[in-house]
Amino acid sequence: MSITGVRAVVGVECMKLAAQIKTQLVLGLCIVGPFLFAAAIHMQSSLPTDTLFGRAVKESGFAVSLVVLGFAALWVVPVLASVVGGDLFASEDRHNTWKMLLTRSRSRADVFVGKLIVALGFSFVAIALLAVSSIAAGIFIIGPGSLIDLSGIVRPPDEAWRRVTLAWMSILPAAFTFTALAVVLSVVSRSSIVGIGLPVVAGLTMQLVAMVDGPDLIRRLLITSGFEAWHGLLAAPLFYQPLLRGTIVCAAYFVICIAIAYDRLRRRDVAG
């Protein structure tokens, strides 16, 4: 593997993504979606009281961002994490370009690392846009009011902004793990449908399992446990154990998925 080769792969893949309508649409929705949600909340009288911070969405714009975070972690983030990672490798099978790519251009390590960086980068950009947009929508439409945290303590706007930002950052390990899952499924199945769809189904299944009254150990070993760790950042005193535990679990899944994906790509026969 060479840095020059990886950079070349990253550059090509980024140009390809930038030209895709799918990519533009997903990122556009990440920007526009929170503003539409905040506007709908501002205009209606009822509140999403069945969600965390739902009662405070008309009092603090930061509560709007946290409601978006809670919903996105359940249903949106697995899609954002998989939509590119699940297609980057399978698209080469779809267009029958592996032979040219792996025998005449860059090494397999260059191609794998470059594509993986792009997949992870897209996941990061999409979540960052969603986070920034949700905070901006809350502030501009609702207002930068103080936030009452889960312990009932009033957090002034400057502190609320920092905690909400950390809450969004806390879901990145789980999001990256879903990207790794999408990558390995894309490589193994050679199908974009499987690479994109199966991680989303897996995420929904994990959420349902977590809601069922079962052994706590099973819930802790799910990738989606990392999507709830931000609760400890909005309490007093702060507690980081769920975040630390979820990060370790996600790191284990991530390493396993990436190792399997690279091994399968390294062994792939493209001579035919």
Q: Judge whether residue 2 has pLDDT over 90.
A: no
Please give, one letter per residue, the 3-state secondary structure of 191-226.
CHHHHHHHHHHHHHHHHHHHHCCCCHHHHHCCHHHH
Nearest-angstrom CA–CA distance, 236 and 147: 13
Reported confidence tier of residue 92, pLDDT bands at 50, 70, 90 = confident
Domain count across the chain: 1
Average pLDDT over every residue of 254-270: 90
pTM: 0.92
Cα distances (angstroms) measured from residue 271 to each of 42, 94, 102, 110: 60, 16, 10, 19
271 inside domain? no
Q: What is the reported pLDDT for 258?
A: 97
211 inside domain? yes
51 inside domain? yes
Q: Judge whether residue 97 has pLDDT over 80.
A: no
Nearest-angstrom CA–CA distance, 66 and 194: 31
CA atoms within 13 A on the CB side of 125: 17
Question: Higher confidence at residue 50 or residue 246?
Answer: 246
Structure confidence by residue, pLDDT tens digits, 123-157: 999 999 999 999 999 999 999 989 998 888 999 99
Q: What is the reported pLDDT for 76?
A: 92
Is 24 within 8 Å of 203 (Cβ atoms)? no
Q: Is the dihedral of CA 149, 151, 154, 158 positive or negative?
A: negative
Residues spanned by the domain of 236: 3-266
Q: What is the reported pLDDT for 167?
A: 95
Q: What is the reported pLDDT for 263?
A: 94
138 inside domain? yes
Nearest-angstrom CA–CA distance, 171 and 230: 8
60 inside domain? yes
Q: What is the reported pLDDT for 272?
A: 46
Q: Judge whether residue 54 has pLDDT over 90.
A: no
Show Cβ contacts of residue 224 under 8 Å, excluding neighbours closer than 6 positions: 73, 174, 203, 206, 207, 210
Nearest-angstrom CA–CA distance, 269 and 272: 7
Structure confidence by residue, pLDDT tens digits, 212-243: 766 788 888 899 988 988 988 988 888 889 89
* Eight-state DSSP code of residue 21: H
97 inside domain? yes
Average pLDDT over every residue of 23-43: 92
Q: Judge whether residue 259 has pLDDT over 90.
A: yes
Q: Which of 141, 7, 15, 11 is nearest to 67 (CA)?
A: 141
272 inside domain? no
Nearest-angstrom CA–CA distance, 218 and 86: 26
